[in-house]
Each structure stands twice: as structure tokens, then as C-alpha cells.
Structure 1
């Protein structure tokens, strides 16, 4: 996804907000957590599921020299593989069966025939999946990202559903057909695991989402970590830049920083791009040798008018 480009100039008023949840993609960015009384036994991860509920799905994408997790929101839809009303199980089933809207992303999972989940009294989330969900040809690196993709999605779905005190630090136990000990890519499943903060992408675009249709005035929201001193963005149509800008990134904050502003554009199809220049990187391990731009994310969207 690395590509070359020219330096952009500031073209909008940008608000920079430090996000205290580190590279989690949950907490403030997923949903406000709602607390409830824990029971002594495992409780299904069920909650009211309105038809307009949107659930977070994490996908694997390539940027810089590595693969990272990027998040999209999708409309909640019932799945035969999951118990009715179980939002976490249904979201995982969706992850295994649907495709990301952004063609730059992909999933490391195969369609699951069965998914279950529960939350313990101590706040540990257990996910039980069928063995057909695993791609046993995955390399150890691909398997590691797949497991993180599942953990990020499961914990984010639990937070959105307001189940217990679910959040980015929630521990997750992965069972296969109700049993511990399944080996995938050299990793033995069944012990509590948490999100690996390094698995989350160092930047991504939230709004407008891929293939979204907006009004002539719309909101732009992006997040980036402090791996660089600056982040840039531009909006193009037919390869012509119609808007662009840049924003300094805090060196002290070790979490995600949110960039948010509004834009007005005439009817048409556009591509918004967010990127980091190699020369601005604080961490040289993210550099793509020989490229002016090392890290980027882009979304295509359509302005439909008022």
C-alpha cells in the first residue's frame, strides 16, 4: 500500500484529540463500556440486538513492512452459526463469513459452522468455535494475526453490546469444539490471551468509511499513533487533489490520536488518503526503503449532494 506523493498543504481546520486507550481500537473508539453485575457462572454474551446495531470487525491489512489490524463497522445480521441474540458469537460468525468493504483488507478465517461465547464472573470472555473456521495452511505469522483479529473483534463486540465490563484489556479464552489444547500455527489455544497492542494499525481512516455515500458536507475522522511527527491527508477525484492537509502528532502520547474535521464537496466520487512520510517517522522500523511514503490508508466514497 506504500506509494509516492507530493507534500500536501494544510487545507482544513483540524482538531487533534489524544486518545488514552493506546493502540486498542476499543474503549472510546469502539463504544462506551456499560457495567453490569457479574454472576458466579458463565453467562452468555447476549444483549438486545436492534436492527440498526453496528458491530466492529477487524481485518488484516498490509502497510509499511508488516500486516496490521484495521477496523470496519458492519450492520448486525443474524447468523445460523451463532445463538440468537448472542452479539459476540454473531459478530465472530460474521467475521468468518463476510468480506471487508475495503479491498486492501482481508480475513485470515474460514466460514465457521458454529460459534458460541460466554463471560465469566471475573470478566474473562470465552469464545468457542468450530474447527472448520481455521485455515490450517496458515503460517505462524498469519496464525498470530488471525488470533489477534479474533481477540480484537470479540472484545470490541462485547464492549459495543455493553456486556459486563468488557473492554480492550479483557482476557479471551479460545476453545475449539468446547475443548482447550487446539494447536494453530504453532500456538496452543485455551489459555487466557489479551490484545497485542502492536497488532493494531498505526493509522486508519474511520469516516467516511469505504464505499460510503455522504451528503455534500460530511465528517472526516482518522486516527494515528505517535510513530511519526506528522500525518498527512488528501482527497482526490480523477487523480486531482481537491483538498489536503497535515497535522502534528504528539511525541508524549503513546496512544491513538484522533483527527477530526468537516469538509464540503460537490457531487462526485472521491478517494480520501491518510499517510505518513518516511522522513517524518520517529520509528525507523516502519520505513519502506526507497519510498517517500511508508504508511497509508485510503477509502473511496461518494458525495450524493444535500
Structure 2
């Protein structure tokens, strides 16, 4: 664990302690936006493990993305300036930058003011100016945007070593230092919120990230499924000179069932130089060829 750091962008210096992800409901596109944003009781949850401490200075940032007819949260690691504390700079990237993957998006706007702190009660407080909410979204998307912030704030605190995975953590959002703001005209803020586990993507390619250049030979691919021990179908498409993509490799794999690696899958593929698209989806238990919860990633081998 790295030495704890004081987050000083709010009026008081607050004690930093640990946290753990909160098991909460699966997303429902017609669900009440406030319930979706706060993670109130509902349908069974899926896996949303909290990030672990890493040596990299990259910031974990969550984005919103579509898969089939559903909408989920996906994560990228981004290079960010180090002038601010880890939580603030991850949130600033979420609100002011564009995702690397063109399949992802964010409704947040670049705010004039943004600050964060962590209390001894395991609550991350985020104080943001009202201009961050200057997007016209419906109630369902508003709830997902709030969860996008909750996931990013908790991920940044955990991966930077400011908190550990031993206790629950929540996020309280203030707007211009005030509570009770209605975010995007749909979600009532003020109360602490936890991760809604069902918001995270059922299939999620972790590495390589979109547009990454990799060395030729053995290429390692990692990802996560929300179904530990579940079967996954993968396919590699290769870009031709005319711009078309043709099937190159295909196969199936199984997500890990062990608690320490729950849902993780790994592929080691031999690829020559070229531009590729990776597609990973869950296998339909009914035996159909339909791609369930597909995630895609484009990368280059040099």
C-alpha cells in the first residue's frame, strides 16, 4: 500500500481509510433514475470488484457504452497531469476528455470548479460546479452518468492506494458546495452513494486498450466477464488494404471461477504485423450463435 496522501482541495484535510465495492442491482433501462444512481435494493447484482493498488500513474476512468440494446460502464486507464489529487484528476479526465474507444461516450461537461476529499467515514466527497451538468439527457442516462462518477472516484482512490479493499466506501456529490442539487434535472444528490454493481459491462476487454500498438509475436489479451466460469466466444478480424475486415482467428474460452480471479479471462495469440479488431461475447446458454454483450477493441501489431 502506498503512503496515504492528504486531499486538500476542499476546506478541511480529511483522514483516508479503506473501502470495498457495494453489491447492488443490475441495470434496468426503465428503472427510476435515482434508484439506479444510488444502488438501491433490486435485482441480483453482478460482479463489480474494486480496483487494486497499481504502480502506474495512469488514472482509471469509466465511460458509458452500449452493448446490444443495453447501456453499461466501461473503464479505460488514461494519462493525466499530476497537479491534482488522484480522485480529482480522474474525474477531470472523465468530464473533459473523450474516450479512446469510439463506442464509449460521456454526458459530463468540463467544469469550472472540481475538488474532492476522503473522510474517516469512508466517504469520498466530490464538489463540482453546476456547469458540469450542461447536457440534455433522459432520466435513465442521468442515473448512469452519476454511477459513472461514483465508479471513477472509487476506482481512482483504490488504484492510487488512498483506500484499501477492506471496508465499504461511498461517494457524496456536492454542487457548488451545496447539497440537494438535481443532477441533469433528474437525479437528486446529497446522500452518499455506492457502486451499483449491475452497471458494469457484462463483458469487458481490459487490455489492449483502443488503438494500442503492440509488438509482433505473442499478444496477450485480458478481460473480465460478470459470469465466473462462463463461456466466452472470441474472434479476431484483420483489416485489409481496401478497409474491409476479414475473420482471422476465432475460438472460445472460459472466465475464471476462482474468487481471486473471478470472471477474468486471458488469451495468448500469435499475431503478425497488421491492424486487428477483437470481439468478445458471452455464449448464449440456449445454444444460438447470437453475440451476447459483445465488446470490441481495435489494436495494431507492429
Once the two structures are superposed, the pairs formed by residues 228-243 of structure 1 within 5 Å of their partners are 229-238=230-239, 239-243=245-249
**SS at the partner of 1:93?**
helix
Once the two structures are superposed, the pairs formed by residues 181-196 of structure 1 within 5 Å of their partners are 181-184=180-183, 185-196=185-196
Which residue in 2 is equivalent to 1:67?
A: 71
Matched, 1:77 2:81: yes
Change (3 A) 1:218 1:169: farther
**SS at the partner of 1:235?**
strand
Moved more, 64-73 or 157-166: 157-166
Change (3 A) 1:228 1:65: farther
The answer to whether the 8 A contact 2:228-2:262 is kept is no
Deviation at 1:249, TM superposition (A): 4.9
Distance 2:246 2:167 in 1: 39
Q: What is the TM-score with the length of structure 2 in the denominator?
A: 0.75
Q: Deviations over 1:158-199 (max 9, x none)?
A: 111111336894110000011111012432111110000111
Distance 1:57 1:251 in 2: 26
Count, aligned residues: 250
Matched, 1:23 2:21: no
Which residue in 2 is equivalent to 1:37?
A: none
**SS at the partner of 1:103?**
coil
Distance 2:84 2:165 in 1: 17
Which residue in 2 is equivalent to 1:207?
A: 207
Distance 1:160 1:250 in 2: 22
The answer to whether the 8 A contact 1:112-1:133 is kept is yes
Once the two structures are superposed, the pairs formed by residues 1-306 of structure 1 within 5 Å of their partners are 23-26=47-50, 30-32=51-53, 53-78=57-82, 84-165=83-164, 169-184=168-183, 185-216=185-216, 217-226=218-227, 229-238=230-239, 239-249=245-255, 256-280=262-286, 292-304=290-302
Which residue in 2 is equivalent to 1:45?
A: none
Q: Deviations over 1:26-65 (max 9, x none)?
A: 2xxx3238xxxxxxxxxxxxxxxx9x61111101011132
RMSD: 2.7
Which residue in 2 is equivalent to 1:38?
A: none
The answer to whether the 8 A contact 1:203-1:222 is kept is yes
Change (3 A) 1:302 1:167: farther
Q: Which runs of 5+ in 1 are unaligned?
A: 1-20, 34-49, 79-83, 282-289
Q: Deviations over 1:89-113 (max 9, x none)?
A: 1111111010011111100211111
Which residue in 2 is equivalent to 1:14?
A: none
Distance 2:175 2:154 in 1: 18
Distance 1:66 1:57 in 2: 20
Change (3 A) 1:166 1:154: farther
Runs of 4+ in structure 1 displaced over 6 angstroms? 250-253
**SS at the partner of 2:121?**
coil
Q: Which runs of 5+ in 2 are unaligned?
A: 1-44, 240-244
Deviation at 1:250, TM superposition (A): 7.1
Distance 1:133 1:206 in 2: 28
Q: Deviations over 1:54-87 (max 9, x none)?
A: 1111010111322100011111225xxxxx3311
